[in-house]
Homo-oligomer: A and B are copies of this chain.
Amino acid sequence: MTDRNVQVEPAPGPAVEEQTLEIVERKGIGHPDSVCDGVAEAVSQALARVYLDRVGRVLHFNTDETQLVAGSAAPAFGGGEVLEPIYLLIVGRATKSYEGTNIPAESVAVEAARDYLDETFPDLDVGTDVIVDVDLGEGSGDLQQVFGEDGTVPMANDTSYGVGYAPLSETERIVLETERQLNGDFGAENPAIGQDVKVMAKREDDQIAVTVAVAAVDAHVPDIEAYEAMVESVREEVLELAREITDRSVEVHVNTADDLDSGAIYLTTTGTSAEQGDDGSVGRGNRANGLITPNRPMSLEATSGKNPVNHIGKIYNLLSTEIARAVYERVDAVRQIQIRLLSQIGQPIDQPHLADAHVVTEAGTPVSAVEDDVSAVIDDELDGITDLTRSVIEGEQTTF
């Protein structure tokens, strides 16, 4: 058994699925805050890789502060234009030389950001619609961390906190999958759908209302009829998707702020409202599991852009979710589990000050009956903590 401080106890209230009111939100990948999250995380991965590549370990850096200043644009049916580019400033710290080896941290950051934008936003011309600037200060030399050397586990850089849970509620799944579908297969077939998709769902008992705001891409919208058709097709798609997830009553509203009579519709040239008036920054949107869930405990720590080796807030937010999923999958009779990890500054990150689990079990199974199994999974996952870092660096984890 573990010598870690693991506590397993019943959840203090009912499962989220049984609460009377539930609110869930997701800012899609094209929302200005998510743009910053995505850029910050892409920069972070690229820096980690260049450090590993050149000096065999990840050195001190932190790039969790990208700021986006909106541009201005004149969208128009059939294709408008950006008038003033979006300005995106990558802020942070990075080690720029180490034992005689130069690390081109700023160049790497700019390239990673541009590549990310290029891949993510087909209608955004990274050359001229957005200016990517960078200002990375020197990191403190003494914060350099060893990673990749014979299994050493890094020390926590702070007293911090992570929280995760599983499974997603129906409402949460609807929100998450709606955005993924609109920015995935359905979006690929419907180029009029921009990346700036925002999904909010409210469940009152068994009534779920999903509100979707979709930025249309003007080049693919010849006229108002095409716009209306796009809106309707999104509504139908989301409704169908929701019905596959839940038996509850679902209604879907798309672009409710439109006023068709006055021509006030949600039309963009680039697929994101960052082109006109909506600024953004890192850590203001989705939590590490991709959702904003006021019904669940949340960490305020920004996950995107942080150093994945020793930034304990990032690691514990991702790991707690991973542990929760693992418990839910592997331990029978667990209906809902929430994991909290609390770090201790200066201690190995696989030795949290406290790991606690709040469990809701199937009727008839007391929590005590699953306690050992839950503890074992937690222990197991903490043993593999450096694998998580590796998978973050390789881009296998989403952080927003």
Contact = CB atoms under 8 A, between A and B. Distances in A.
Contacts of A138: 72
Contacts of A65: 67, 69, 279-281
A169 interface: no
Interface string A327-347: 000000000000010100110
B9 A12 contact: no
Interface string A372-399: 0000000000000000000000000000
A251 to B, nearest CB: 14
B342 A23 contact: yes
A24 B204 CA distance: 30
Contacts of A283: 281, 283-284
Nearest to A21: B356
Contacts of A153: none
A114 interface: yes
Contacts of A87: 133, 135
Given A21-B340, A295-B297, A69 B135 contact: yes
A342 B202 contact: yes
A145 to B, nearest CB: 15
Contacts of A342: 23, 202
Contacts of A21: 7, 340, 354, 356
Contact of A294 (B74, B133, B281, B299): B299
Contacts of A294: 161, 163, 297-299, 340
A81 B93 contact: no
Contact of A281 (B9, B132, B163, B281): B281
A128 B90 CA distance: 13
A114 B127 contact: yes
Contact of A345 (B67, B257, B300): B257
A261 to B, nearest CB: 14
B128 A70 contact: no
Contact of A102 (B74, B93, B132, B277): B74
B70 A89 contact: no
Contacts of A74: 102, 104
Contacts of A204: 354
Nearest to A32: B65
Interface in A276-296: 277, 279-285, 287, 292, 294-295
Nearest to A64: B279
Contacts of A280: 65
Nearest to A27: B300
Contacts of A110: 85, 127-128, 131
A364 interface: no
A6 B204 CA distance: 13
Nearest to A296: B297
- Point out which of A12, A104, A200, A300 has the most chain B C-beta atoms below 10 A from its C-beta: A300
A294 to B, nearest CB: 5
A170 interface: no
B279 A92 contact: yes
A358 to B, nearest CB: 10
Contacts of A82: 104, 107
A91 B132 contact: no
B67 A84 contact: no
Nearest to A200: B159
Contacts of A281: 65, 67, 281-283
A2 interface: no
13 contacts: A21-B340, A21-B356, A23-B161, A69-B91, A83-B105, A85-B110, A85-B134, A92-B279, A111-B128, A256-B345, A281-B283, A283-B284, A295-B297
